[in-house]
Amino acid sequence: MSTVAVTGLNATDNPAPGVAVARALKDADPATRVVGLAYDLLDPGNYAPAWFDDVFLVPYPSQGSDVLRSRLTEILDAVRIDAVLPNLDSELPAFVALEGWLHERGVGTFLPTRQQFDLRSKLHLADLGERAGLPVPETVVLSEPAELYTLHEKLSYPLVIKGVFYGAAVCHSLEDALHAYHDVLAKWGAPVLAQRVIRGKEIDVCAVGDGAGGLLGAVPMRKTLLTDKGKGWAGVAVKDPEALAMTERFMDASDWRGPCEVELIRDEDGKTWLLEINPRFPAWCYMTAAAGANLPWLAARAAMGDTIAPERGFTPGTMFVRISIDQIARLDDYEALATTGSLVDRAHRFQGEDR
Amino acid sequence: MTRRPYERPIIVRHESGLGNKLSRVPALRPQEEIDGVSVEELVKTYGSPLFVFSEQTLVQRQRALADAFAVRWPKVRTAWSYKTNYLDGICRVLHREGAWAEVVSEMELDKALHNGVRPDHIHFNGPFKPESALEKAFRGGTLVHLDNFDELRRAEQVATRLGKRPGVAIRLSVAAEGIPPWTRFGFHLESGQARDAVRRLLAGDKLDLVGLHCHLGTFLLDPAAYREAAGKLAAFAEELRTEHGIRLQFIDIGGGFASHNALKAQYLPAEQATPSFEQYADAVCDGLRALQGPPKELPTLVLETGRAIVDDAGYLITTVHATRRLPDGRRGVVLDAGVNVLFTAWWYRHDVVPTRHLAGIPEPTVLYGPLCMNIDVVRDALPLPPVEAGDRLVLRNVGAYNVTQWMQFITLRPAVVMVGRNGQHGLLRKPETLEALTSWEEVPEWI
Amino acid sequence: MNLGTRLGDLAISDSGFVFDPYTGASFTVNATGLHLLRALKDGVIDRAGLLAGLDEAFDVDGADAGRDVDDFLGQLRRYELLPRDFELGASEVTP
């Protein structure tokens, strides 16, 4: 039986991937013990005992890797962890910095290097596109709001204003852009980017790279239902040789190690553009397990040191529809997390009780 | 029954997004000493507040910078940026390590000379160089970096008067993606102004162009900006070589490397966001690769790194004077040091640590300075367990700009000391006294 | 709502977890805060009584416990766990 730690338990209306990853691991092997590393008392995944055997609060990434290391030391005194799968962009640099230490403590990882992480940052995506032979929509890095006044000389409206980590807004006018600029800046800091809008169909690829230029597994997906915020709420696995080929080119150019999401868009002329590389699993990654290519499990096994043969088969037409339900949470779980910062061995604590 | 240790009673409401601050994470590891000398001993000897500089860190940072570039470029020179911290003791440690001086005023030029720097080992920058300064510079062979056309003309006049033909550099303002342009300094490269300046300088035939200089900005977290700027400087240098036969002695890439501080608008912590000297060096030297010509004629690369060397070496020890409860529930703490001595608190989220283990639940806490001014805030919303009057806090990475930009306002400025490598410590600057302050004042006789 | 009902219905756990069934809010208190909450719930509403209880259970020597108790009560008022006009020794309470 193996134990895998998973982060990103904030499964809200814009969900982080943690719950999906945990569910995929349980699917592959129900004996797997999944340890949730949560950032907030009310992260919904904390209250999903079917997928998380233990939950520990961990410090925010902005507190630095030193603080994370001391918290992980406490956690490792309480439970054994064979591998950790971080699922948020903002925490990756800290986990990457701690990789050597984690390995010494017997915790396996399957992460990109810091260079790979920086390479796919939105700041440097154009360079990466050039290196990999993938077209990237024109992007302007904005260093001050005044640049918005001359932006129309480089990009025409509508355009997208993006934060360097998260956040994106389609803007139709200078007023929109100014508003979005300050909004993104306040949330995610400088710099802010402006990108040409490409109209077309999005294709998202959930992929795992082997760290040596190869692709271990990949499932392309088309969104079939969007929320009013433009987030995918339903989708279907599709056969898309071009999307897979582009994903392979990215792997080859970057030697990417670990999971990622390649966001592509195919315009009305049939040209496919690279929009973004997210350095972690997408929130819809459970679907890969249902499609016969359980990519979270594959990454977990790689992190535990197994030699992994590429698993390139999957079933096109596998569909997902997200569903919002009200999970009943236990006040004593909440109390335990609030007072001790941990919920250890929940299954054992409530043995015999109706869960 | 034995009595348990007392802690201030606290109740904190669980709120979404704040829940995690309640977790039992030892986020504030105490710092009891600085390079082996206890904080208490330093305060007992020199008082509080107190700026403390680590000689060891200063030397390590300077060497790390020089080494990172030396393995990537054949000829490298560092010039200590005086305005970042011009306490004599700091400057002399860096000069001892081989750094030249980079000054931006006649006062700084005099201070560098006073510190024993050879006049021809000084780079003289800045937008304001009066004739007296230019004359002093040209007499001693100081390298003047010209900032504008009026200065070029003034430099020619001074050189003619002295009967000298000095070698000078021109400062260029260069655009790099993602960097707010500092167009108020130097000759613009992209607009063609830099070419005009070179033509004008050659036509005047009174000065020799020996260097190019640019300074992109400050606290630049993306090394790629340096690749772009260095590339543009190199291309311009190539143009000068092929069109005018000019062989430059140096290319000065300025400063701007980030220290291990964190800007207020910065999401990632410094240890993850601040590039290493190696990353900066890779970017700069990549950019310079556009330079052609025989290797032995390659110009010297000059670095004016200030903040990234001295910031990490500086600490501010401060003492809790009082605590209070604010109406919004936050805890307020009044310290004996505020923005009067910690100018950088406007821009940076300074790292604050206690000197003893603080028990208890962290509460959102505002750190105020001692000034009777509403704006005197050192940190807002820092999660901190309760502290008591008399507790010490150490603010880290405060070595850059504070002891040059600080204000004598409302109160006197504290002592600055250096901790040496064997636990020795001594004053870099005495604490101010009222006598020293009033010795500059006069009272007209009719009052 | 009087002091007795509001405090009386507060769920206070040894772990320092406090749940207010009227608002759904929950809180964390430290050991001294827990002690004071329980004392208040038991009807100790005069300063001398609270301080004596604290002194009995904790090593308060050298600390300004009077100031700390006022600050703690201020926090309870802010969270509406005590009536806004509550003052030590001046409120009518039927615990």
**If one looks up domain A116-120+199-321 in CATH, what number appears?**
3.30.470.20
The structural domains of chain B, with segments of one domain joined by +, span 26-52+313-433, 55-311
| Distance from C-alpha of B332 to C-alpha of A355, rounded to nearest angstrom | 45
**pLDDT higher at B319 or A184:** B319
**Residue C13 located in a structural domain:** yes
Whole-angstrom Cα distance, residue C37 to residue C46?
13
- pLDDT at position B68, please? 95
- So what's the pLDDT on residue C94? 42
pLDDT of residue C6: 79
For B361, which of C26, C30, C58 is closest by C-beta distance?
Answer: C30
Domains in chain A: boundaries: 3-109+325-349, 116-120+199-321, 138-196
CATH topology for the A3-109+325-349 domain = Rossmann fold (3.40.50)
CA closest to B12 among chain A residues: A338
pLDDT attached to residue A350: 53
- For B74-103, letters b (16+ CB in 10 Å) and e give eebbbbbbbbbbbbebbbebbbebebbbbb
Tell which of C18, C26, C34 to mutate to test the A interface (max A CBs under 10 Å): C26
Q: Which CATH number fits domain B26-52+313-433: 3.30.390.30, 3.20.20.150, 3.40.50.620, 2.40.37.10?
A: 2.40.37.10
Say if C90 falls within a structural domain.
no
CATH architecture of B55-311: Alpha-Beta Barrel (3.20)
| Domain span including residue C39 | 3-78
Q: What pLDDT does residue B117 have? A: 98
Q: Do C12 and C23 form a contact (C-beta atoms < 8 A)?
A: no
Burial of B51 (0-12, 13-18, 19+ CB in 10 A): buried
> HSE of C69 in the Cβ direction (CA atoms, 13 Å)?
24
Contact between chains at A335 and C15 (C-beta distance less than 8 A): yes
Residue C83 in any domain: the answer is no
Confidence band for C26, pLDDT divided at 50, 70 and 90 = very high
Do B177 and A165 lie within an 8 Å CB cutoff?
no
Establish how many alpha carbons lie within 13 A of residue B294's alpha carbon, considering only the half-sphere containing its beta carbon. Answer: 3
Report how far residue A54's alpha carbon sits from residue A3's, in angstroms, rounded to the nearest whole number.
Answer: 10
Residue C8 within any structural domain of the chain? yes
The total number of structural domains that make up chain C: 1
Q: Say yes or no: B24 contacts chain C, CB-CB below 8 A.
A: no
Binary contact (A335, C17; C-beta < 8 A): yes
Q: Is residue C19 part of a domain?
A: yes
pLDDT averaged per 10 residues, chain B (length 447): 87 70 56 96 98 98 96 95 98 98 98 98 97 98 97 97 97 87 90 96 97 94 94 96 95 96 84 93 94 87 98 98 90 96 94 90 91 93 90 97 95 97 95 95 95
What is the pLDDT, as a whole number, of residue B22?
Answer: 42
What confidence score (pLDDT) does residue A354 get?
Answer: 43
Fold entry, domain A138-196: Dna Ligase; domain 1 (3.30.1490)
Q: A6-39: per-residue pLDDT in tens?
A: 999 999 888 999 999 999 999 999 999 999 999 9
A195: CB partners within 8 A, 6+ apart: A137, A138, A139, A140, A155, A159, A160, A162
Between A70, A71, A338, which is nearest B14 by CB?
A338
A122 and A162 in contact (C-beta within 8 Å)?
Answer: yes
d(CA C46, nearest CA chain B) in Å: 17
Q: Decide if C33 and B10 are in contact by the 8 Å CB cutoff.
A: yes
Using the Cβ of B18 and the Cβ atoms of chain C, whether some distance falls under 8 Å is answered with no
User: The complex's ipTM?
Assistant: 0.91
The answer to whether the CB atoms of C26 and A334 lie below 8 A apart is: yes
What pLDDT, on a 0 to 100 scale, did the predictor assign at position B299? 96
| B26-52+313-433 matches B55-311 in fold | no
Q: What is the pLDDT of residue A183?
A: 87
Chain A contact set for B181 (CB, 8 A): 143
H-only helix segments in chain A: 18-28, 65-78, 92-97, 99-104, 114-119, 125-132, 174-188, 241-254, 286-290, 295-303, 331-340, 346-349
Q: Report the neighbours of B using a cutoff of 3 or more CB pairs below 8 angstroms.
A: A, C
Bin B256: left if φ > 0, else alpha if -120 < ψ < 50, else beta.
left
How many helices (H) and strands (E) would you count in chain B?
A: 13, 22
- The minimum CA-CA distance between A327 and chain B, rounded to whole Å, is 17
Among B1, B4, B325, select the one facing C71 at the smallest CB separation. B325
Sign of the C-alpha dihedral, residues A252, A255, A257, A260? negative
Q: Which residues of B touch A163 (CB under 8 A)?
A: none
Tell me, yes or no, whether C32 lies in a domain: yes
Q: Are the CB atoms for B180 and B139 separated by under 8 Å?
A: no
The pLDDT value recorded for residue B17 is 57
Q: Is the peptide bond before B49 cis (omega within 30 degrees of 0)?
A: yes
pLDDT value of residue B16: 64
Q: How high is the pLDDT of residue A184?
A: 86
Structure confidence by residue, pLDDT tens digits, A274-329? 999 999 999 999 999 999 999 999 999 999 999 999 988 999 999 999 998 898 99
Best of A331, A335, A337 to substitute, by most chain C Cβ atoms within 10 angstroms, is A335
